[in-house]
Structure formats: structure tokens, C-alpha cells
Amino acid sequence: MRLLLPFFFACTLMALDSEPGRFEATVHYASPTGEASLAQPISITGDDQGRMYILDGVTRSVFVWEKDGSFLRTFSRKGEGPGEIMLDNMLGAVAVNKTHVMVLDSGVKRLVVWDRDFNFVKTVPIVGLDRIVAFYALDDGYIAVSSSTKSGNTRMLRLDGDFKVLKVLNVIEDADFRKNAQDGWEYRPYSDKMTTCFDAHTIFFANSNQNWIKQIDPNGKALGEFKLAIPQEPLEGLDISFYRKEFAKWAGPNDHISFPEFVPGIGDLMAIEGGLLLAVRFQLDSGSLQGLVLDQKTGARKGTFSHSLGNDMGIAASVGGKIVLILANSEGDLEITQNKLVFQEDRKGTL
């Protein structure tokens, strides 16, 4: 599953010929019980039984809920022993297939594996791969998106069960992180990057600045491609203080941060039920999640949506075709809901 980030993109709402759609909560997930509390979710996924798994970057635990929203349990903790994870710099992701639950512990380059009864199975070292920004589990291997700090390119890779590269599925330029001549990091938020989502046996991915979306199967076979006319927004006037504060937490004397003139048009992709694909953008000044509703196969525009987050930070993800929102309430506690999209199909309209 993708690593989750707070909503801090900013774009302008598109012109509409009908009211934008909205999210309606269908399941409210219970608060975790026991000593552990969900503090900073960084990855979310689901399994074939309807369970939901959230990886927490503070406790280094995976939180598990049943299909009906009842809380089941946690497993894993901070450490480098069997069944433990480190999540250095909050880099990690959780994924699940028919037989196992996996946590990608990116900071220390390893994959920690449990069976579906949450018994520790093994730790797999990750060799030869740079920063992994997306991760999906198949029944016979993995799909990973790896960003190279040396070349500035992002590769989509087909991996075997031991996390060895079988095939490079796609490559695009991505200059988000790169090593500089002083052996420090060049960090460029909003730079062009590969945005991905996975639905059944189809991978959707977009180049956030060029605004095209492609579809391939897990072996790299092309299934389709379509383009979107989503304008980029000028960076001038946007609140970029969040990125500067986060950078200051880990930056060393040889690390630098810089910003482009324009921000990406596509912030995220979410494949949801009904054969729909959401091209998502985040509106900081209004505290809302906005975007286009598209047909997964053809890219035809079906409508738009705009959902208020109630504050300037939140998390959204597609889990089993459902939209899961994680938002902080007025007391600062995290509230988790499963949602359906309700929208009126557009007759026309452009971004």
C-alpha cells in the first residue's frame, strides 16, 4: 500500500455543470482498546475478509479492525528483533495477500512478514532498492515503486516473494529526493512524481505534472491510457510552512530544500467500487478534498466531488474499493470512517 501523507496540496476547484459529489459514512470504526493508541497513521490496506490494517508511525504497531468496524487487535512493536519494526523517518507501509501480512520497514531496508493469524514468519532483507514510496502485495510477489536518490528516476518494479526484482514495469523522472555533492539530501516538495493505485489486477499510475493516467497488469502489459487537462497551480501564495517544519526535523548541515514554480495537478489516485477512479487534489485554504470521478477503463469523466475535511489535515485511501477517511476531531482524537461516494453524473464540464 502507498505510504500515507497529510493533505497539504492546494489547487483550485474545477468548473462544474452539476453539484459536486460527496462522501457519506457507512461504517464508523471503533477506537482501539488496550494500551496502544493510534497516533500517526502512515499506511492503510485491507484484506479479502473486509478487515482493515493501519500502520502507525509512532507506536510501530499495526492496528486491525473487522469488517463491521469493531476493533480486533494490534501487533508488532518498535525494535529490530523478530516481529519488530523500526520505521526510521516514518518510512514504511503495510500490505496483505491471501496468506500473509507484511510491513515494509523502509528505513532499515527490510520486509517483516506475519501469517494471517498474526504469527511472525520471517524478515526479508531488501537489497539494491532505493527509497520505496509505494508497495502492493500480490499472491506470488510484490509491486513496488522505488525512487532513486542517484538518478532522480522513479521505477515501478515487479518483485518476487524474496523482494528481488523480476521486471521493471515503468520509469519516470522524479526529483523529490536526490543526493547532492556534499552527500546531503536535496528535497523538492511538489516535484513531478509517479502516483499509483492498485485495483484487483490493474495498476493505475499517473505522472502528476503531465496529467496522463496509464493502466497496466502486474506483469507490465499495457491495458490503456488516457489524458486529463488538469492545470497546475502557481506555488506563489501557498502555505509551505508544513514542508519547512518537517524538513527542519531531520535536515542536516548538507541538506537543502527548494520549491518549484508550480505544484502538481494530480495529488493522488483512488480506485473505488463501481469501476470508478478518483483523480484527487487537495484544497488547503478551504480544508477540502476535491477531484474528478472517472471511468476506470476509458477515463471518461463521470462527475466531480468535494468533501470538507473540517481542518487542514487528514488522510484518505481506497481500501477494498471503499473510501476510508482518517480525520482529527476537535479534541485531537482520530476518527475513522468508511465512506461511499454519492454524486450526480456530469453532462459536460472541464477543469
The answer for 51, left when phi > 0, alpha when psi is -120 to 50, beta otherwise, is: beta
Give the model's pLDDT for residue 10. 31
Give the model's pLDDT for residue 82. 95
Give the model's pLDDT for residue 279. 87
Give the model's pLDDT for residue 2. 44
Residues of the chain with pLDDT below 50 are 1-16, 312, 349-351
Give the model's pLDDT for residue 154. 82
Give the model's pLDDT for residue 296. 92
Give the model's pLDDT for residue 329. 76
Closest C-alpha to 216, from 197, 189, 238: 197
Residue 287: DSSP 8-state: T
What percentage of residues in the chain have a pLDDT greater than 70?
A: 81
Ordered DSSP codes for 123-139: EEE--S--EEEEEEEET
Q: Residue 165: enclosing H or E segment and its boundaries?
A: strand 165-173
Domains of the chain: 22-342 (2.120.10.30)
Give the model's pLDDT for residue 281. 75
Closest C-alpha to 135, from 163, 99, 95, 165: 95
Closest C-alpha to 65, from 41, 46, 83, 85: 46
